[in-house]
Amino acid sequence: MTAIPRTAPRVVAGAPLQRSLRSFTGRAAIFLVAAALLSAFLMPLAYMVMTSLKDQAQVADPAAPLYPASPRTFEYEGEALQIYAVPIDGVVRELAIVQKGRESSVMVDPANPAAGTFTWEGRWRTLTPAYTFDPKVENFELAWNQIEFPKLLRNTAIISLISTIGAVGSAVLVAYGFSRFRFRGRGTLFLVLLSTIMLSAQVTLVPTYILFTRIGWTGTWLPLIVPHFFANAYNVFLLRQYFMTIPTDLDEAAMIDGASPFRILWSVVAPQAIPAIVAVTLFHFFFAWNEFLMSLVYVGGNPDLWPLSLGMQKFAALYVTRPPLVQASAILAIIVPVVVFFLSQRAFMRGVVMTGVEK
């Protein structure tokens, strides 16, 4: 029998190159989309930072650059002259205007003032001023002193920290009860708790204000702190859902060793739920840090107890015509939340690692 020769597989020389090109194109497209989304989110923050470092004259000047800058000047015969970009014979030169005219102006070259002045034919208003990078850091100092930032920061930190401790602690206890204990009416009570989410703060504002007025809490921090010690439906829901994903085998093992329910919560459930607890802590801390309405209602008449939200509102009303100062105060107010957010990322990642259960 004659052996039938096998046909050698056809090898396309450009196949690896095509795959590499498609892979590179896909990664490049993902990178461009991510960069575009990141730029869209960071653009307002960049604008805020740039505006806070400008002076009022630059903000009012439509020809000024986007970055913080001041007009370049040249000292000539005891007078500060502004420098402009002047086109002469097809070449743009930086010259200082000594005497401005409608159709012609007298100019001097800052690089060679000994050559004297000369007349330039043209309208000086069409020229572009020359600017130099000059950030106004003193805007932050003025905002710091005008709004009494240390006092406002202390008040805000006290309100935020204490209310966060109460909100997270109470939410952990309530969520632990709903996720681990079986009792009559548990589902109904949980639905009643979730239904409170539909009640906005504006709906309950009047009755709660009357209650706090009768017990003498208005004008103090108590209405801003004490209610958070009675759990929040959002926090309870998030923690309960996370607690239910933790195997109950760990609880049973701890019960066999003689651990009480609180011991199980502290030593078994809570360490496994660190990501959810950190998330709830951040949510409430940022909410308490930026809260404005309740602070205005209960401590608006006592400036010594004002948080940053009220102090910045008054400062913005006084300096509404000076955007650099308003933006500088806003940046001072967000420094602490931004630092807290970035520092909490490590705790969040540690919590993700600690949630692993060895099978």
pLDDT digits (tens, 9 = 90+) for 22-63: 777 878 888 888 888 878 878 888 888 898 998 888 888 887
Residue 18 pLDDT exceeds 80? no
Say if residues 72 and 131 touch (Cβ distance below 8 Å).
yes
Helices (H) and strands (E) in the chain, counts: 15, 8
Domain that holds residue 97: 73-129
- Shared domain check, 34 and 122: no
Q: Which has the closest alpha carbon to 172: 108, 237, 217?
A: 237
Residue 216 lies in a domain: yes
Residue 320 lies in a domain: yes
Say if residues 209 and 218 touch (Cβ distance below 8 Å).
yes
- Shared domain check, 319 and 236: yes
Identity of residue 288 = A
Residue 3 pLDDT exceeds 70? no
Q: Which has the closest alpha carbon to 118: 110, 109, 127, 126?
A: 109
36: which residues sit within 8 A by CB, 6+ positions away? Answer: none
Instruction: Give percent above pLDDT 90 in the chain.
Output: 17
Q: pLDDT digit string (tens) for 196-220? A: 888 888 888 899 999 999 999 998 9
Q: What is the pLDDT of residue 59?
A: 85
Whole-angstrom CA distances from 40 to 33, 36, 337 are 11, 6, 21
Residue 22 lies in a domain: no
- Shared domain check, 294 and 179: yes
Q: pLDDT digit string (tens) for 149-169? A: 899 999 999 999 999 999 999
In the chain, the number of structural domains is 3
Residue 293 lies in a domain: yes
290: which residues sit within 8 A by CB, 6+ positions away? Answer: 309, 337
Please, what is the average pLDDT of the chain?
84
- Shared domain check, 153 and 212: yes
